[in-house]
Amino acid sequence: MKVGGEHFRTIWLKPGNERVVQLIDQRFLPHRFVIEDVSTVTQMATAIRDMHVRGAGLIGASAGYGMYLAVLEAGQTGGPSRTRRISAEEFDTHLANAAAQLKATRPTAVNLSWAVERVLNAIAGETPAATEIQKKVEIALRTATAIAEQDAEHCRMIGQHGLNLIEQIARTKNGKQINVLTHCNAGWLAFVDYGSALAPVYAAHDRGLPVHVWVDETRPRSQGSKLTAWELGQHGVPHTIIADSAGGHLMQRGEVDLVIVGSDRTTRTGDVANKIGTYLKALAAQDNGVPFYVALPSSSFDWTMRDGSEIPIEERGAEELKHAEGWRDGETVEVRIAPEDSPAANYGFDVTPRRLVTGLITERGVCKADEKSILELFADHAS
């Protein structure tokens, strides 16, 4: 997608130095556009845990590159001059530690462990001798790149399938504005490119449809007002930031034509974990007869899980709720907005049961949120 007219993805290899991964450090948006260099597993784990990068697809792509950096690091064992060759056992231990370090960063988005396992399996499968580091580096890089490329392509396809839904609604509106409500940030910043929930919006806008987005601010990290609003603005899509609790009111007044949200993990039976507050939007949508769609690439399905209650829900620090962050005189400032001594509970995600979901928009098409319909699209995960 474009930033100031220039094409960007959220993560890439540094031109001229393949040992460094570069990413957009989202902590500074929308005020500053900062690119961070990451060259160790520990730096990548920090970037994921402290939300320099965030969003299911981007967390997965970052973890994939993190495992590539782990293999590079293994090649440095014995010192940069490689005076000593790493043993197979040392190599396996190093990789296992790196995988555990990355997986421990955030619990809810399933893309994280999916990407780590994908790189581990690729490395394990192709080179019998663990000491052949260079071969493994190449395989890890190829796999991490494939994860990122696939993420972008799947999101592009989600955009095309979701566009059909928006076009159907447009036909009933006689040229009037089509209002989409979204929660959190499930745009291109949450993936490698295009986004999930926002991909259909971008496709509709580019097709010339008069689409407008209600952007939930998404407290406490404000991914909506900081990130979604910023990226929609960069692409020229009309949008309005609303308080998290305003969606029901707008739906009652007929000012929402459809809701599209993303997902951090969806069970094979169609229960959807997404940013906290999503469930309340789904309830309001059902009460008002507003279609409620979830857009996700297949990397966000947890094929092992049958019930949303099994999904681990991240709980973050109370300071995120009790403080607000803003921009003043060219720098970020943080202020406390709650009584110092009041406890606060900061749940990061909730689960929307499948009965409240109108449909899932995936790279293979749109389906109902139930196991049979999901497996009709993804027969390769039937067993």
Q: Pick between residue 75 and residue 220 the one whose CB is nearest to ligand MRU.
A: 220
Cα 54 to chain centroid distance, Å, stands at 6
Residue pointed to by tokens 């999503």: 278
| Residue 264 known to be catalytic | yes
Q: How many CB atoms lie within 10 A of CB 252?
A: 13
Complex with ligand MRU: residue 141 or 351, whichever CB lies closer: 351
Helices (H), 199-252: 199-206, 223, 229-235, 247-252
* Residues at the interface with ligand MRU (CB under 6 A): 54-56, 184-186, 190, 196, 223, 261-264, 274-275, 348
Token pair of 25 as six digits: 């450090």
Tell which phi-psi region holds residue 88, choosing left (phi > 0), alpha (psi between -120 and 50) or beta.
alpha
Distance, CA of 142 to CA of 67 (rounded, Å)? 11
Per the CB < 8 A criterion, the answer to whether 181 and 214 are in contact is yes
Alpha-carbon span 127 to 67, nearest angstrom: 16
CA atoms of 186 and 204, how far apart (whole Å):
16
Yes or no: say if 163 and 76 are a contact pair by the CB < 8 Å rule.
no
CB of 92 to ligand MRU, least distance (A): 30
* 112 touches 59 (CB < 8 A): yes
Measured from the CB atom, the residue of 95 and 193 that comes closer to ligand MRU is: 193
Q: How far is the CB of 198 from ligand MRU (least distance, A)?
A: 9
Q: Which is nearer to ligand MRU, 111 or 234 (CB)?
A: 111
Closest distance of CB 154 from ligand MRU, Å:
12
The CB-of-128 to ligand MRU minimum distance in angstroms stands at 38
Q: How far is the CB of 201 from ligand MRU (least distance, A)?
A: 14
| Contact of 315 with 321, CB cutoff 8 Å | no
Pair of tokens at residue 238: 């009309």
Closest to ligand MRU by CB, 263 vs 362, is 263
Structure tokens of 74?
Answer: 């293994």
Q: Which residue, 101 or 263, is less far from ligand MRU as judged by CB? A: 263
Catalytic residue among 151, 257, 264, 302: 264
Smallest separation (angstroms) from ligand MRU to the CB of 222: 10
CB atoms closer than 10 angstroms to residue 164: 14
Catalytic residues: 264
